[in-house]
Structure 1
């Protein structure tokens, strides 16, 4: 009698046979009574979609490939950057600049040549999500932005696919299985997204490189359990991981009968505009994903009353020795990595340290951070405090290193 999870993943079908080479390869699985020949054949028949090939997707895809999952789909449209290599172990120095799906395929095929890799070099959107996800048995969400998490969740619920979910930030992570029969979905836990900018991305807040390894392996474990129909998946449970204290806690989750997606009377019956739902600007469909996603503000001359100035314009003002005051609002540890000599007052201390810059209240003040998001917030604080001529440096010190002084390091 198939389990509910097995029915949901549609893996109870005629199973492929294992070759002698595969029997040798998976021998440690085969001698586990809970897996055995039938379980390994289920793994070979399974199709898993890894949404993202970054910090979480890297260990996730590697362990699924090693375990013998027959088909692994990879969806990503980013390219490999050196800053990825601190945690995204599926990529290497040799593949910097390559598409992440191509880079990941090289590593996965090198690990297991029997693997069928399906590459989706595209941004996951409301227009293509259902068509892409429908061909897979389990979806593993390794994204790092809220709009895609809600999109994946809703698509999984609409299609009846389980979602092996994880997320990470700094030294902490969480994991669960959403969208399983009778279990809650992501919206049951988080009905509404946080206000834009409240939760910094890993590019702004950082992440311990080992942490996505921990959570990605948990995702892979849950995916294997779902395919095999064994153990107790994280359905109705949220696993919380604190890497600094090495603590693992879990919270019980309940299915919300009033959930707009998986409740008894759903109101979301088709995919919506998730950028609008999360209150963010639509990302571009080309170029590095982190650049598109973490862009500070819209490409407009004025945003929320704050003029936006380019690094080229700032360079001209500095060269002309104009009477301007440049303010760095990053953190001290970032300043130690790279700076352009501007005074440092971190964003979180701006309001308590206004007296230190009071002399520039009527001067032209240009605020910068790493990429422009924090400096936009600081500019608004200064404007509200009575500073009459405040501008935000678009792209921050990263853009300065890209376009003005290429000798500077980027982080």
Structure 2
């Protein structure tokens, strides 16, 4: 018997009652990602009494996660997220069964995993995984509640091919690689994860209990800066090809092609400047005394946290106005936190006829990981 005192405040909700609680107790919910959204979703599922909760995440806790991934404490840094999250949920509610899947979700394991659950909540942070989740849910015949966050906003919806449109109907084509920066590249307001995560749980509860109208065929967007919500309705695409099997989602989203391009860019013809330079290669050039113009296109607060000696700080938003402070004839390396902003800055400087300019692959974060661990990571 469930602890009625524990669940009393939800049992009294109109239309919920013991039937709703029984449905939650019998439900099997798989959560993809134990990061910012997962940290908001997982405790609520456990606290409400969802009977079986699966957690898929192959990452480990990093210090940069702690401001928004509130499942973890500083002593968890370096530990597997799925394992630590599972342990935390068992502490929150010993009545629920929690399964930690420490493998990365892939085309080879998704259908087997999904077959053991009734519903999936997708809190992943990349497009290949989102399309994989959507296709695997379609083939498994289960609904998927998906969400995404970016800087000050987020969006969410419900995808269920048996009863309505899916993520592929809303986004038939993935964005070009590198056009949508990750949280590591663009940042995220922690409270946005909490808001979107709470809405994901509400959608899951509606699907499990049958209470209310799920966001099927609707996507909701939230902007913390004005506190507003917007809703967009969409329908099935009659011309969309049916999902008949799982594919290579890295290739579908252009990630593999981009990585191949990046790899070949490191060995260009002698008269061509590479698009990127590795941290180790840059370190070797600096150690050899090569005269390199190093340009930091991050924000001043980032430079206060960590920087490379001798770099000229010009935030990316000011680069076009301040490019004259640089020498267009000097060999130039541009860097940011992880390589996204510096790639854009590189292209801007090339359009301004800089003779030799390249981007630091992986940014200062790669420098800290591969060259000098004394440079703080953030």
In the alignment, which residue of structure 2 is the partner of 1:37? Answer: 18
SS at 1:371's partner residue? Answer: coil
Task: Tell me the TM-score normalized by structure 1.
Answer: 0.84
In the alignment, which residue of structure 2 is the partner of 1:346? Answer: 315
Alignment check: 8 A CA contact 1:182 1:255 kept: no
Alignment check: 8 A CA contact 2:60 2:79 kept: yes
Give, in whole Å, the separation in 1 of the partners of 2:344 and 2:221: 30
Give, in whole Å, the separation in 2 of the partners of 1:371 and 1:246: 30
Give, in whole Å, the separation in 2 of the partners of 1:79 and 1:282: 27
In the alignment, which residue of structure 1 is the partner of 2:249? Answer: 274
SS at 2:35's partner residue? Answer: coil
Give, in whole Å, the separation in 2 of the partners of 1:158 and 1:282: 27
Q: 1:236 to 1:409 in 2, by over 3 A?
A: same
Q: 1:282 to 1:122 in 2, by over 3 A?
A: farther
Deviation at 1:165, TM superposition (A): 1.2
In the alignment, which residue of structure 1 is the partner of 2:346? Answer: 379
Deviation at 1:305, TM superposition (A): 5.7
SS at 1:167's partner residue? Answer: strand
In the alignment, which residue of structure 2 is the partner of 1:317? Answer: 285
Aligned-residue CA RMSD in angstroms?
2.4
Deviation at 1:164, TM superposition (A): 0.9
Give matches, 1:5-404, under 5 Å: 18-19=1-2, 22-179=3-160, 181-260=162-241, 266=242, 268-281=243-256, 297-298=262-263, 301-302=266-267, 306=274, 308-340=276-308, 341-357=310-326, 359-361=327-329, 363-404=330-371
SS at 1:240's partner residue? Answer: strand
Give, in whole Å, the separation in 1 of the partners of 2:275 and 2:232: 45
Give, in whole Å, the separation in 1 of the partners of 2:43 and 2:204: 13
Q: 1:368 to 1:254 in 2, by over 3 A?
A: same
Deviation at 1:271, TM superposition (A): 1.2
How big is each residue's C-alpha offset from its partner over 1:318-376, in whole Å with a ceiling of 9 and x where there is no partner? 3443222111122344233322241123344544544332x342x32222111223323
Q: Which runs of 5+ in 1 are unaligned?
A: 1-17, 261-265, 284-292
Give, in whole Å, the separation in 1 of the partners of 2:317 and 2:225: 23
Give, in whole Å, the separation in 1 of the partners of 2:265 and 2:335: 17
Alignment check: 8 A CA contact 1:153 1:185 kept: yes
Q: 1:281 to 1:348 in 2, by over 3 A?
A: farther
Q: Which runs of 5+ in 2 are unaligned?
A: none
Q: 1:302 to 1:349 in 2, by over 3 A?
A: farther
Give, in whole Å, the separation in 1 of the partners of 2:116 and 2:24: 15
Alignment check: 8 A CA contact 2:273 2:357 kept: no
Q: 1:307 to 1:27 in 2, by over 3 A?
A: closer
Alignment check: 8 A CA contact 1:72 1:115 kept: yes
Moved >6 Å (runs of 4+): none
Q: 1:117 to 1:390 in 2, by over 3 A?
A: same
SS at 1:257's partner residue? Answer: coil
Deviation at 1:385, TM superposition (A): 4.2
SS at 2:65's partner residue? Answer: helix
Give, in whole Å, the separation in 2 of the partners of 1:123 and 1:52: 9
Alignment coverage as a number of residue pairs: 373
In the alignment, which residue of structure 2 is the partner of 1:11? Answer: none
Give, in whole Å, the separation in 1 of the partners of 2:40 and 2:217: 24
Task: Tell me the TM-score normalized by structure 2.
Answer: 0.91
Moved more, 88-97 or 69-78: 88-97
Moved more, 248-257 or 297-306: 297-306
Give, in whole Å, the separation in 2 of the partners of 1:151 and 1:311: 32
Alignment check: 8 A CA contact 2:273 2:358 kept: no
SS at 2:66's partner residue? Answer: helix
